[in-house]
Structure 1
Amino acid sequence: MPTLDVLAFAAHPDDVELCAGGTVCLLAQQGYDVGIVDFTKGQLGSRGTPQQRMEEAERASDIIGLSARENLGLMDGDIRNTKANQRRVIEAVRRYRPDIVLLNAPESRHPDHSDAADLSTDALYYSGLQEIETTGPDGTPQAPWRPHHVLHYMQAVSFEPTMVVDVTDVWDQRIEALQAFASQFHNPDYEPDPDEPETFVSNPEFFEWVKSRARTYGYTVGATYGEPFKYRHGPFGVTDLPGVLSKEKEFR
C-alpha cells in the first residue's frame, strides 16, 4: 500500500466528491498522493444499490486521479464509535500514514456524518499510541501514526470556515467526479427505477445549490469557486508566511 499525502474519510461513497471534490482533484493535479476511505457502501440509500455505489466510486476515483480508495464495509445508518470500528480506522491511518486528513463535518443534517466525524477523530488520536497494536493486511505490525493536520469539510450545515480552497481551475473535473454517482445526484443520463424516489440530493435544484455555495465561498477569497474547511486543532504554525498567503485576496 502506498503512503499518502492526504487521506479523506467519508461516511458514504460520494461525501468527499460532494463536499471536497474540487480540493482532492486539485491536490491530485498538483502531484500529491491522495486517497479516500469510505466507511459504508450506502446500504440505506433510497436510490441505487451498494454495488452501484461501488462502481460509481471507482469511476469517480479515476476521474479525480486518486492513488488509493477502499471501503471499510461498516453499516450505513449505524456508524458507531466502538473500539472495533476505531481499530478499522486506525489500521487505515497507519497503513497510509497521511500528513493531512479530511473528515466529515462535526455537525450535519445526516446523523452518519457527525457520527463518522466522531469515530474518525477518536481513531486519529488512538492511532498515535504505541500501546495500541495493529497489523497490516500482510500481518506485519503497524507503527503508530498520527496526521499533522486535520480538517473538516462542510456538509449541509454551514460553519465559519478556517480556510477556503480555490477550486476554480478544476471545477468541471469536480462536477464530472460528482456526477459519476449518477444514482445519487442529478444526472440527465440516469434513469431511476420506478420505485426510486426523488431525494434531497437527486433533484436539479440541489445541484444548483452546490454550485451556488461554491460560488459564495469562492467570492470571499476572490475566486469563482471555493470549498470551505474548518481546521480542527488550531492554531497552526507556519515558517513561510508569504507562501501560506500566496493567494491574493481580490476584495479587501
Structure 2
Amino acid sequence: MKVDILAIGAHPDDVELGCGGTLAKLISEGKKVAVVDLTQGELGTRGTNVTRAEEAANAAAIQGYVNRENLKMKDGFLVNSEEYQMQIVKMIRKYKPEIVFSNAIDDRHPDHAKGSKLVSDACFLSGLVKIETVLDDEPQEAWRPKQIFNYIQWKNITPDFVVDVSDFMEKKIEACLAFKTQFYDPESAEPMTPISSKDFLESLTYRAQDLGRLSGVDFAEGFTSEKLLAFKNFDGIIL
C-alpha cells in the first residue's frame, strides 16, 4: 500500500488542524495520502475515544485519505521508546511514503514535540536493513522517507516554507469540524477548553491568512524541515 505522503499526528485531529489544507491540495493533485494517529486522544476533556474514532473516520472521508489507522499509544504519555519507535517503523515500511508530515517540533501539548522526535527517529530506523519487522505475518523491507516536514500547531513557529492552500481552506475547515466534540459548539454542555473556543476556530482562518499575507497568497500553511531544502528550479514558486 505505497503512498506519496504519510501524515502522522499524536492525536486524532492533529493532521487536519496542522496540514489539512496541504493534504487536501495534494490529494486533489492525485497524490495518495495515508494518516496514522498515535493515540486515541482519550485524555481529551470533551468527547471520548469512541467519538474521536468516529470523527477521525468522518474527517478521513471528507479529505479522501487512502487509509487511516490508530496505534493506540498512551495519550499524554508519549515516550521515545523502542516499543513505540518500532510500531511507527512498521507503519513507514507498510506505506513506504516519500514524505512524512509530523507534529510541531515545539508546542503547548507535550505529546506534540515528543511525537515529532519519536517519528523522526523512527523514520531513520526504518531505513536500517538490520532491523527486521513483520506485519501481518509478512516480513517488511527497509524504507526511509526522503523528507520529514513538521506542521505548525498552537505555537507560532517561524516556518521554513509555506504551502498555498487558498483553494482548500473550506475543505480544511470542514475536515476539522468533523471533530465536532472538540471544537466550538454554542449548544454543547461539555466543559470549555482552549481549542473549543470561538476564537480558536476563527484562528484556523486568520493564522492561514497571515501566512498568506507574508507569502503573497490568500491562505497558507507553514512547515519546518529537518534538513536544508534544495530546489531543482523555480517552477512552482509564487513570485
Partner of 2:130: 131
Partner of 2:191: 197
- 1:187, distance to aligned residue in structure 2 (A): 4.2
Q: Is the 8 A contact 1:179 1:187 kept in 2?
A: no
- 1:224, distance to aligned residue in structure 2 (A): 0.9
With the length of structure 2 as denominator, give the TM-score of the two structures. 0.97
The C-alpha deviation readout for 1:112-169, integer Å capped at 9, x for no partner, is 10111111111111111111110122x1111111000110100112222111111110
Q: Give the SS at the match of 2:150.
A: strand
Unmatched runs of 5 consecutive residues or more in structure 1: none
Kindly report structure 1 stretches of 4+ aligned residues shifted beyond 4 Å.
none
User: How is 1:31-180 mapped onto 2 (pairs within 5 angstroms)?
Assistant: 31-137=30-136, 139-180=137-178
Q: Give the SS at the match of 2:112.
A: helix
Give the aligned length. Answer: 239
* CA distance in structure 1 between the aligned counterparts of 2:215 and 2:62, rounded to whole angstroms: 26
With the length of structure 1 as denominator, give the TM-score of the two structures. 0.92
Q: Give the SS at the match of 1:169.
A: coil
What letter corresponds to residue 92 of structure 1 in structure 2? M
* CA distance in structure 1 between the aligned counterparts of 2:224 and 2:204, rounded to whole angstroms: 18
2:179 equivalent to 1:181: yes
* CA distance in structure 1 between the aligned counterparts of 2:119 and 2:76, rounded to whole angstroms: 16
Partner of 1:223: 217
* CA distance in structure 1 between the aligned counterparts of 2:234 and 2:104, rounded to whole angstroms: 29
Partner of 1:248: 238
Partner of 1:237: 230
Unmatched runs of 5 consecutive residues or more in structure 2: none
Q: Is the 8 A contact 1:41 1:54 kept in 2?
A: yes
Partner of 2:19: 20
